Amino acid sequence: MTAVLSVASECAPLVKTGGLADVVGALPEALRPEGVSMRVLLPGYPAVLEALETGATAVMTENDLFGGPARVLAGRAAELDLLVLDAPHLYERAGSIYLGPDGRDWPDNPQRFAALSWIAARIAAEGIAPGGESWRPDTLHCHDWQAGLAPDYLAQMSGGANVRTVMTVHNIAFQGLFEPHLIEALRLPRHRFTTEGFEYYGRVSALKAGLVAADRLTTVSPTYAAELLRPDFGMGLDGVLRARRRALTGILNGIDETAWSPASDPHIARTYRLPARKRPNKAALQAEMGLPDAPGPLCCVVSRLTDQKGIDLLLEALPALLDRGGQLALLGSGDPALERALREAAHDPNVSVRIGYDEALSHRLIAGADAILVPSRFEPCGLTQLYGLRYGTVPLVALTGGLADTVIHASPAAIDRGVATGVQFHPVDAAPLAVALDRLCDLYARPDIWAQMQRNAMKQPVGWSVSAKAYAALYRDATAEA
């Protein structure tokens, strides 16, 4: 059995702000059949501590962890084997796990996540004894910048040489930058503050530290792995990744096929297995969202409202859908300017907008809509298009990242071969998106083609089985090199 310590700032269903949490929460169960035993190290946010089952025990302590005492609790919650960093001075606070009441990053985020990385490295170097039985990982798997300092810390510690490190980039736009005056206070070696180390344009980058120091690098789709080597996607780290391209692998994310199951979803009007059974869910969704019956496709969007997600492009291209009798139902929150623009667009009777987050409504939207729109400027993997495939909700996506890897474009050749699952557009701009929306309406007007695309979509593998095998092989290969 390969032992892996997975380190992350969030993990579904305990604490979640985005797709990172879904991946971290899904991997342990997905990897078990592949001979991988995984524990997850999380910060001791109030919600995580409250979820711990009775019997959690302290397995490590630190008297002064960047400003206060801390301990590591070993226990279980949500069917996960957890190690929880209980450090009240860092994590015992209400609201967002990353942002203060003013909507800005907590000022001590460098210390909060350096602490997580430091403890991860200590566990990897020293091991622990939960329940009296010694445990030490063969591989330390670090997710995003919040765990990015762990490989660097581990390299400083005696006992860490035989533990392999894997660094996964879920979104390179978030890099964990802080000022160099914190270097010594965060227990980092000053001599590593160079372009070959963790220096990034005069600041420290926690993500770069992980990309330079880890044995293996992964990201969440093959296309995104290739895109990161280019300046227009690499966010200033493309040179680092080009230098390490032989260590870089793209492994697609999967989804929880139990939570997202059209045959048993408790959030939708009724269960179904064939595309024809979507009609009751569509009618129920139109009623819930205040939309009339319409001749064109009902399209949904479930998204953060940011420029990355191409919401501004959708607003510009929206007339192409509405002019063909189509409709838009949107759920999301984010940029206040985009929220205002969407509320304005909702004055059209065929546009309905809900600002906020509602897990149950997201299921009903994806189950009831004819199509799901994902016009992202860049998308490392994307999960909503996978939910759409699972529910026979035809994805319209930008040709980028994981969207390119998971959707088969409805080209004439793909339609002739009966393999199309959705519509792609490129370049990622409003005019090509409008053309794609027009194409979507053309396909919807052909019930035979549309039904075939729905059936194709529902047959696509969207779970974790293939990706789990890839991660297990990566861990084994890395460990063999130790």
Q: Do residues 209 and 84 share a domain? A: yes
Task: Determine, yes or no, domain membership for 55.
Answer: yes
Q: Do residues 298 and 240 share a domain? A: no
Task: Determine, yes or no, domain membership for 262.
Answer: no
pLDDT the model gives residue 273: 59
Q: Do residues 26 and 44 share a domain? A: yes
Q: Give, for all 482 residues of the chain, the pLDDT tens digit.
A: 899 999 999 999 999 988 899 999 999 999 999 999 999 999 999 999 999 999 899 999 999 999 999 999 999 999 999 999 999 999 999 888 999 998 899 999 999 999 999 999 999 999 999 877 899 999 999 999 999 999 999 999 987 788 999 999 999 999 999 999 999 999 999 999 999 999 999 999 999 999 999 999 999 999 999 999 999 999 999 999 999 999 999 999 999 898 899 988 999 876 665 556 788 899 999 999 999 999 999 999 999 999 999 999 999 999 999 999 999 999 999 999 999 999 999 999 999 999 998 989 999 999 999 999 999 999 999 999 999 999 999 999 999 999 999 999 999 999 999 999 999 999 999 999 999 999 999 999 999 999 999 999 999 999 999 999 999 999 999 988 76
Q: Do residues 419 and 369 share a domain? A: yes
Angle at which helices 311-322 and 430-444 cross, to 10° = 40
Q: Do residues 313 and 211 share a domain? A: no
pLDDT the model gives residue 447: 94
CATH number at residue 424: 3.40.50.2000
pLDDT the model gives residue 275: 58
Q: Do residues 422 and 473 share a domain? A: no
φ and ψ of 442, to 5 deg: -60, -45
Q: Do residues 233 and 171 share a domain? A: yes
Stretch (H or E) spanning 75: strand 70-77
Look at the chain and report how many structural domains it folds into.
2
Task: Determine, yes or no, domain membership for 270.
Answer: no
Residues spanned by the domain of 177: 2-254+465-480
Q: Do residues 245 and 283 share a domain? A: no
Q: Do residues 248 and 279 share a domain? A: no
Q: Do residues 285 and 427 share a domain? A: yes
Please state the residue numbers annotated as binding site: 16
Task: Determine, yes or no, domain membership for 65.
Answer: yes
Q: Do residues 173 and 38 share a domain? A: yes
Task: Determine, yes or no, domain membership for 265.
Answer: no
Which residues have C-beta within 8 Å of that of residue 367, sequence separation ≥ 6? 262, 265, 267, 268, 269, 278, 281, 285, 391, 393
Report how far apart, in Å, the C-alpha atoms of 6 and of each of 147, 282, 328, 475 are: 9, 40, 39, 12
Please state the residue numbers annotated as binding site for ADP-alpha-D-glucose: 16
Task: Determine, yes or no, domain membership for 267.
Answer: no
Q: Do residues 50 and 75 share a domain? A: yes
Task: Determine, yes or no, domain membership for 266.
Answer: no
φ and ψ of 153, to 5 deg: -60, -45
Task: Determine, yes or no, domain membership for 97.
Answer: yes
